[in-house]
Chain A
Amino acid sequence: MALSPEEVNHVAMLARLALSEDEKTAFAEQLTLILDYVERLNELDTGEVEPLIHILPVFNVLRQDEALPGSSQEEILSNAPLVEDGQYKVPRII
């Protein structure tokens, strides 16, 4: 079940990864290989099986509604590539 170039482009777009043409070809091959490998899961009939979404049989893990100090503005901006007026600066959206 080979992955088409359109599909690779689409996935790369969803994942916001700029790939070179070589990378796209390589990934198409490798992903197809892996997807073919995982195909064997269909040998199992899981119609009646409940998915194991949460490992621990735990519910309602809650915390109190209390405001506590977090990071300082300096800390939260300390690794930022570009800052202006205490805010992260990014190029245009559209």
Chain B
Amino acid sequence: MSKEFETVIGLEVHAELKTESKIFCSCSTAFGAEPNSQVCPFCAGFPGALPVLNEKVLELAIRTGIALNCEIPEYCKFDRKNYFYPDLPAAYQISQYDQPVCINGYLEIDLDGEIKRIRINRAHMEEDAGKLVHQGDITTTPFSLVDLNRCGIGLLEIVSEPDMRSAREARAYLEKLRSILLFAGVSDCKMQEGSLRCDANISVRPAGQEELGTRTEIKNLNSFRSLERAIEYEARRHVEAIEDGEELLQETRTWDEEKQVTRSMRSKEEADDYRYFPDPDLPPLRISRERIEEVRRQMPELPDVAQERLVETYGLPHYDATILTTTPDYLEFFDRVIKIYPDAKVVANWMMSELNKYLNQSNLEISDCLIKPENLVEMLQLIDDGTISGKMAKTVFAEMFNSGKRAPEVVREKGMVQISDEKALSAIIESIVNGNPKVVEDYRNGKEKAFGFFVGQVMKATRGQANPAVVNKLLKEKLK
């Protein structure tokens, strides 16, 4: 990426709200039902059907506004956004146009210790559209199928200011936003399931220039990684186009995960005129300051506050605190372990390394993990009382993760009890030392590595169960 250019990025995020019923009708929002079985005359766009706002959607919107440091104006309303598409039954989406529920907020991202504030332009409530299923690609399919189960589920659209300057910043913003939404209990934020969707707006400009360059929008970003890759690709594409003197069109593009490129999505039609106007079927909303305070009082703990708490209470490094507060389930796990086993750094290390490793490998959420907080505590206590070594614990942990068995059981089944008995270890050391006179001579001549050889041999002979501290002590004595 040429040093002469600056990338300017803004993100538009849609979060599916965690409610039992849809935003304007009482249909269930449950995932995975038979097609068109969670639908009613309203969300299917039948004549005479009318919307009524779900109170929980409004509450979650207010919560989000508070969590994102937004201004929540006293009045807001709904507008109709008009366009024709097979997944939009009424041929208009009920959204918020010029008077959204939240405006002028921000969140802070932490990049290697440097805090940057990313401003949020607005957040507004709207309804989701249905699902279209194509035969293959949307551009080549001869027909499509429409399932309206998802149609009408409440969404919060959160629009950032174009304050991000790199793919990394954009990713950090999305991760932080996701974290905040999870902690606030607003959404499940599952990108693969579509309950968190992100579109990126990118432009580039010569460093130092104030005027913004041509902007393109990128859709179909299904993971943090695609977000980063797509932004990097697109920024490069912009710079190349400018340097080659080619025209850069303001358009919408889709990220092709397979080919790792963006492709134009423009159809032959002219851009749609949404003809926004206030929806007459929905009375406006008046959000009192008292209501906002009420929601604030009932707010769950947010990630930044939780991080502070971890740093202050347990003296954990800031980095650790950030990892532990990625999701509320993660933090809850930590909190529950700490209640019984107070060595925060040890717990943090185990969670950030081993636990994270296995969760990522198997693509599991911590709530689905077979290891429960009490189980980890048990294992840590076995290390502390010398039953197993730290190294052995890693093996035990892996087995616990895969089978759900508790530590003592695994240790017993695998016969993994640490050998600390000096008499038994002396005997083994005796036989190894006696069987390797040359190495003994090397060691006594100053070759330090030879010591490691003996340790290795003892571990081999004891199948890794020898207590390392005891082995070291006995070996040193023996080799004097």
- Give the interface of A toward B (CB within 8 A): 13-14, 16, 53-54, 56, 58-68, 70-73, 76-77, 84-94
Q: A87-B146, A94-B138 are in contact. Are A66 and B27 (CB under 8 A)?
A: no
Q: Which residues of A contact B58 (CB under 8 A)?
A: 62
30 contacts between A and B (CB under 8 A): A13-B269, A14-B275, A53-B278, A53-B280, A54-B283, A56-B283, A59-B283, A59-B286, A60-B285, A61-B53, A61-B282, A61-B283, A62-B55, A63-B54, A65-B54, A67-B20, A68-B21, A70-B39, A70-B43, A73-B36, A73-B37, A84-B145, A85-B145, A86-B37, A88-B36, A89-B144, A89-B145, A92-B141, A92-B142, A93-B144
- In the assembled complex, B19 has its CB within 8 A of some CB on chain A: yes
Assess whether A93 is in contact with B138, with CB atoms less than 8 Å apart.
Answer: yes
CB distance from B316 to the nearest CB of A (A): 37
Contact bitstring B31-49, A, C-beta under 8 A = 1, else 0: 0001111111101100000
Most buried by A among B26, B133, B285: B26
- In the assembled complex, B258 has its CB within 8 A of some CB on chain A: no
A84 to B86, CA, bound (A): 15
Which chain B residue shows the least CB distance to A63? Answer: B52
A84 to B135, CA, bound (A): 13
A60 to B77, CA, bound (A): 10
A77 to B145, CA, bound (A): 13
CB distance from B128 to the nearest CB of A (A): 16
Which chain A residue shows the least CB distance to B154? Answer: A65
- In the assembled complex, B453 has its CB within 8 A of some CB on chain A: no
Q: A65-B21, A84-B145 are in contact. Are A60 and B35 (CB under 8 A)?
A: no
Which of A54, A62, A76 lies in contact with B36, CB distance below 8 A? A76
Assess whether B267 is in contact with A70, with CB atoms less than 8 Å apart.
Answer: no
Assess whether B146 is in contact with A88, with CB atoms less than 8 Å apart.
Answer: yes
- In the assembled complex, B361 has its CB within 8 A of some CB on chain A: no
Assess whether B283 is in contact with A71, with CB atoms less than 8 Å apart.
Answer: no
Q: A54-B280, A87-B145 are in contact. Are A94 and B139 (CB under 8 A)?
A: yes
Q: Which residues of A contact B479 (CB under 8 A)?
A: none
Assess whether A94 is in contact with B267, with CB atoms less than 8 Å apart.
Answer: yes
CB distance from B148 to the nearest CB of A (A): 8
A56 to B19, CA, bound (A): 29
Q: Which residues of A contact B35 (CB under 8 A)?
A: 73, 85-87
Assess whether B144 is in contact with A14, with CB atoms less than 8 Å apart.
Answer: no
Assess whether A64 is in contact with B37, with CB atoms less than 8 Å apart.
Answer: no
- In the assembled complex, B243 has its CB within 8 A of some CB on chain A: no
CB distance from A42 to the nearest CB of B (A): 20
Which chain B residue shows the least CB distance to A67? Answer: B28
- In the assembled complex, B425 has its CB within 8 A of some CB on chain A: no
A16 to B86, CA, bound (A): 13
Assess whether B283 is in contact with A93, with CB atoms less than 8 Å apart.
Answer: no
A63 to B25, CA, bound (A): 9
Q: Which residues of B contact A66 (CB under 8 A)?
A: 20-21, 26
Q: Which residues of A contact B283 (CB under 8 A)?
A: 54, 56, 58-61
Which of A16, A60, A85 lies in contact with B84, CB distance below 8 A? A16
Q: A14-B275, A67-B28 are in contact. Are A90 and B55 (CB under 8 A)?
A: no
Q: Which residues of B contact A56 (CB under 8 A)?
A: 283
A73 to B21, CA, bound (A): 18
CB distance from B444 to the nearest CB of A (A): 78
Q: Which residues of B contact A89 (CB under 8 A)?
A: 143-146
- In the assembled complex, B29 has its CB within 8 A of some CB on chain A: yes
A22 to B256, CA, bound (A): 45
- In the assembled complex, B1 has its CB within 8 A of some CB on chain A: no
Which of A65, A71, A72 lies in contact with B55, CB distance below 8 A? A65
Beyond A67-B21, A87-B35, list 4 extra A-B contacts (CB 8 Å).
A62-B58, A67-B29, A86-B34, A90-B144
Assess whether A54 is in contact with B26, with CB atoms less than 8 Å apart.
Answer: no
Assess whether B40 is in contact with A59, with CB atoms less than 8 Å apart.
Answer: no
| Top 7 closest pairs, chain A to chain B, by CB | A70-B40, A65-B56, A87-B145, A67-B28, A62-B55, A68-B26, A88-B146
Which chain B residue shows the least CB distance to A59? Answer: B286
Q: A59-B283, A60-B283, A90-B86 are in contact. Are A67 and B145 (CB under 8 A)?
A: no
Assess whether B27 is in contact with A67, with CB atoms less than 8 Å apart.
Answer: yes
Contact bitstring B203-215, A, C-beta under 8 A = 1, else 0: 0000000000000
Q: Which residues of B contact A87 (CB under 8 A)?
A: 35-36, 133, 145-147
Most buried by B among A60, A88, A91: A88
A60 to B19, CA, bound (A): 18
Assess whether A61 is in contact with B52, with CB atoms less than 8 Å apart.
Answer: yes
Q: Which residues of B contact A67 (CB under 8 A)?
A: 20-21, 26-30
Assess whether B54 is in contact with A92, with CB atoms less than 8 Å apart.
Answer: no
Assess whether B34 is in contact with A73, with CB atoms less than 8 Å apart.
Answer: yes
CB distance from B173 to the nearest CB of A (A): 29
Q: Which residues of B contact A13 (CB under 8 A)?
A: 269-270
Assess whether B143 is in contact with A59, with CB atoms less than 8 Å apart.
Answer: no
CB distance from B110 to the nearest CB of A (A): 34
A71 to B19, CA, bound (A): 20
